[in-house]
Amino acid sequence: MTTEALRGKNHPQRLSEYPKTPVLTTDESVIAIPSISNSGNRRAADREGNQMQTIERYLEDFEVGQRFSSAKLRVEKEQIKSFAAEFDPQPFHLDDDAARNTMFGGLAASGWHTAAITMKLLVESDLKPAGGIVGAGFDQLRWPLPVRPGDELRVESEILNVRTSKSHPQQGLIKVRTTTLNQNDEPVQVAVGNLVVPRKAKALRSENS
Amino acid sequence: MTTEALRGKNHPQRLSEYPKTPVLTTDESVIAIPSISNSGNRRAADREGNQMQTIERYLEDFEVGQRFSSAKLRVEKEQIKSFAAEFDPQPFHLDDDAARNTMFGGLAASGWHTAAITMKLLVESDLKPAGGIVGAGFDQLRWPLPVRPGDELRVESEILNVRTSKSHPQQGLIKVRTTTLNQNDEPVQVAVGNLVVPRKAKALRSENS
């Protein structure tokens, strides 16, 4: 299922992007969801029962050291300029000639454009927290190299830490380092963020019994 | 001068967005720039000599505790959805009905959309580093509350630290906390970042003499 399907109200939504724990949602009328007591990673199915490529993960499914990869995405010059015109209107992001006379030495994507592209690649990657990718915040975000027109970006992510929440025992946090690389395998963005991930109902029940 | 003027190749560029120190640019043929030995804050002028509202600041012009404010910007529902469709295609950012059954409890802007809007407000605010707003990276980025359709955002920034660069003596870094607030003065984003700012040539010369 492509992201196109997510845009229309009448299309089935990607199951992995729905929270499944009681705290997050109890309304099963919107979409048929599997039992929340399912254990282990599993492949989701759409309403017609077709198996999808998506594997969704609860907190217990994440381990320090796990790595996930994304597809690639080429960044076009016109995209760099149009993002900048809307959100970061500075000469080095807007205009080839003007950019040559700045510290960038040529047109470069806004760091926020790189961050947004990274998010897109991450959402479509095999890192699939149940409930979607919900960031609690970042400990670090830096752009070691500018992104240039025609660059082809991909994202490598690695789990650095997994912990349950003391204040919200039905969920936890995973610390993830995402490294965005260009076609020469040079990092153009490194971010360390914390994502909110629901726990399995089974794990919660065994704690309470 | 509005950002519109920055988009066309044949329009004069905003002076404050050009680096003025020798290390950053020496090509004065592109735009008439004032002497780099000017001291203190000053108002820039365009090619016709019209005074503009812009005050540009070199490293020496920044002090810990200085605060800067932005204008306000209203975030429309369709903008939230179109940003999400392009960069963060998850149900809670894309579709009102689907969003109700997620942990967001309703449509919310992608955090990266909030970050991009913050950048736009910052670029147009009275924080005007000479050479433009160039981020070296962030120590912290978090979203305490979601941004909802119709929210009106503004940015308050505060200088936390000012230091010269050891490896690049012609420039320095300012540490800035930017707080993005909604119409109820609730923070929706807090970011602590480091910006690269050129030093005045005068300050450099006196060190070398």
CA distance B96 to B105: 9
With CB atoms and an 8 Å threshold, state whether A102 touches B132. Answer: yes
Per-residue confidence at B208, pLDDT binned at 50, 70, 90? low
| Nearest CA distance, A19 vs chain B (angstrom) | 6
Q: How many domains does chain A have?
A: 1
Residue B24's pLDDT is 27
Chain A neighbors of B92, CB-CB under 8 A: 132
Cβ distance B179 to B187 under 8 Å?
Answer: yes
With CB atoms and an 8 Å threshold, state whether A97 touches B3. Answer: no
Each as own residue / partner, the long-range contacts of residues A178-186 (CB below 8 Å, 24 or more positions apart, any chain) are A178/A118, A178/A122, A179/A155, A180/A114, A180/A117, A180/A118, A180/A121, A180/A153, A180/A154, A180/A155, A181/A153, A181/A154, A181/A155, A181/A156, A182/A145, A182/A147, A182/A151, A182/A152, A182/A153, A183/A151, A183/A152, A186/A144, A186/A145
Average model confidence (pLDDT) across chain B = 78
Chain B neighbors of A120, CB-CB under 8 A: 86-89
Sign of CA dihedral B3, A149, A138, B82: positive
Residue with the two structure tokens 């963005």: A189
Per-residue pLDDT of chain A (209 residues; tens, 9 = 90+): 333 333 333 333 333 333 332 222 222 222 222 222 222 333 444 444 444 455 789 999 999 999 999 999 999 999 999 999 999 999 999 999 999 988 899 999 999 999 999 999 999 999 999 989 999 899 999 999 999 999 999 999 999 999 999 888 899 999 999 999 999 999 999 999 999 999 997 766 776 66
Cβ distance B144 to B184 under 8 Å?
Answer: no
Q: By CA distance, what is A31's nearest residue in B?
A: B98
Angle between helices B111-123 and A111-123 (to 10 degrees): 170
Best residue of B18, B27, B90 to probe chain A, by most A CBs closer than 10 Å:
B90
CA distance A17 to B90: 7
With CB atoms and an 8 Å threshold, state whether A132 touches B91. Answer: yes
Chain B neighbors of A117, CB-CB under 8 A: 87
Q: Which two tokens stand for residue B30?
A: 């592109």
Check pLDDT > 90 for residue B80.
Answer: yes
Adjacent-strand bridge partners of A55: A43
With CB atoms and an 8 Å threshold, state whether A142 touches B131. Answer: no
B74 versus A167: the higher-pLDDT residue is B74
Q: By CA distance, what is A143's nearest residue in B?
A: B137
| Nearest CA distance, A29 vs chain B (angstrom) | 10
Chain A neighbors of B115, CB-CB under 8 A: 112, 115
Domain that holds residue A138: 1-209
CATH label of the domain that carries residue B148: 3.10.129.10
Per-residue confidence at B41, pLDDT binned at 50, 70, 90? very low
